[in-house]
Every structure is written in C-alpha cells, then in structure tokens.
Amino acid sequence: MDTTGHCTASADKNCKHDRGENGCAECGIRPISVCGSLELSELEEFVRISQIASFTPKTMLFEQGAPAGSVFNVTDGVVRLYKSLPDGRRQIMGFALPGDFLGLALMDLYGVTAEAVTKVRVCRFARPAFLTFVDDKPHLLRRLHEFAGHELSLAQDQMLLLGRKTAEEKVAAFLINMQARYARLSPSSVTVPLPMSRQDIADYLGLTIETVSRTLTKLAREKIILVVPDGVRLLSSERLDHLTAT
C-alpha cells in the first residue's frame, strides 16, 4: 500500500486498505450503513474502490463550497456538519455518527463543512468510482434513497426544532434523538455520549451557550438527567418525552 492508502502494483492483490483479513465483511458498522445492502460477493469490489482515512479532532473532512470529489462512510467517531453564514456565524446542521454516509448530495460542490469532533475514521470513495459502482446495483440505489429520505426527515425535524420549541424542549429533543442514534450502535449503553462542546449544541439548537448550560443544569436539578464527564445519563426518558410533546 502506498502513502495515500491505495494498494500499489507490488502489494498483495488482496490488500484490504488497513481492514481486517475479511475486509468489509467483518465491519461492525456495515449492517446500519449504506453498504449493508451489499452481498458478500459485492464487498470485494467495494473494498477496491475505497480507502481508509483518519482525521484528528478539528480536522476538516471537506469544506463548504469545495468540489465534491469524495463520499465518506463514517466508521468511528463524531463529525459536526455546519454551514458558514455571511456574517461569520455558523449554523450546525447535524452530527454524523458511525454508519452515516457523507457527501451524497447530487451537487458538484459540498453544501456544508464536515469537521471531526473526535478522532474520526472513515471509508472514503472517489465520487466517480462510487457512482459507477452504484449504477448497476439497484438494491444499493434503493438503500441510498432510504438514507436520503431519512436525511430529509431530519432536516424537517430540525426546522421544527429551531422554529417552534422552547429552549427546554429543544434540549430534551436533542438528548432523546442522540440516545436513539447511539442505541443503534450500543443498545446496552445507559449514557448518551456528548463529545461535542456546549457551543456546538447551542449552534445546532439555535440557542446561546449560556441557555444550553442553564437548561442542562435545570434538567439535572429535576433529576431528569445526570451530567457525567463523557455525556449525560437519562434518568427519566418518560419526562424528557413529555417535554418534547408539549
């Protein structure tokens, strides 16, 4: 393998791009990601068009307005997705977790910036090779449509969150949403990891950092959550659900 992560001509023909011996077949993220629709016989080709890439915290995977040359499958870590506003502010559009695919929009330029919150590991695909791979696999195309539909639903939820809910309702909805997403990765976990900063959460919810901190403190005082070093523990999901339903 060369320094770019691609197999060289002299490398073993079964090069797995730093994966395990069985490549994508042993990936724990595959069942919940786009590639979960692929048969084992198709994964070898999928491996050949991808490369493993790692990013340290605060490193950009791609930048808003840059040519959309690659797509990314997040396999580890958390990524913040945000738009830069003309006045210098930013609006965080969401947080990508393992299993999420980035850069799928059918545009020539990236519509958001993707930046690593934690150490991040991805499978990266050159966009032309990925689109060629998809062309003759209708089952993968259906999976991509499902993911696109889910992203649209999340965007609609985000508009409602920003426009119609109180600060307490926004924070409660955010915690419930993150719990549901992490449950896909680790169903037994009782803690919702929050590696992003309070400022990140504020920029996502359209609040100030002071309001986010004050709201989390209020929820903790009311024994609805317990703030722990790596996130929050939900002590009463029922009461959080009630807050979001009001």
**Residue 246: DSSP 8-state:** -
CATH 3.90.76.10 fits 166-245, yes or no: no
CATH homologous superfamily of 23-159 equals: Jelly Rolls (2.60.120.10)
- Confirm whether 23-159 and 166-245 share one CATH topology: no
pLDDT exceeds cutoff 60 at 4: no
Global pTM value: 0.83
Q: 43: Cβ–Cβ under 8 A, 6 or more apart, which residues? A: 23, 24, 25, 35
Residue 166 corresponds to which amino acid? T
Secondary structure (3-state) at 7? coil
Contacts 24+ apart (CB under 8 A), 16-21: 16/47, 17/47, 17/50, 17/51, 17/52, 18/52, 19/47, 19/52
Average of per-residue pLDDT across 18-37: 70
pLDDT exceeds cutoff 60 at 200: yes
pLDDT exceeds cutoff 80 at 227: yes
pLDDT exceeds cutoff 80 at 20: no
Q: Domain ranges in the chain?
A: 23-159, 166-245
**Residue carrying the six token digits 């077949």:** 25
Mean of all residue pLDDT scores within the chain: 83
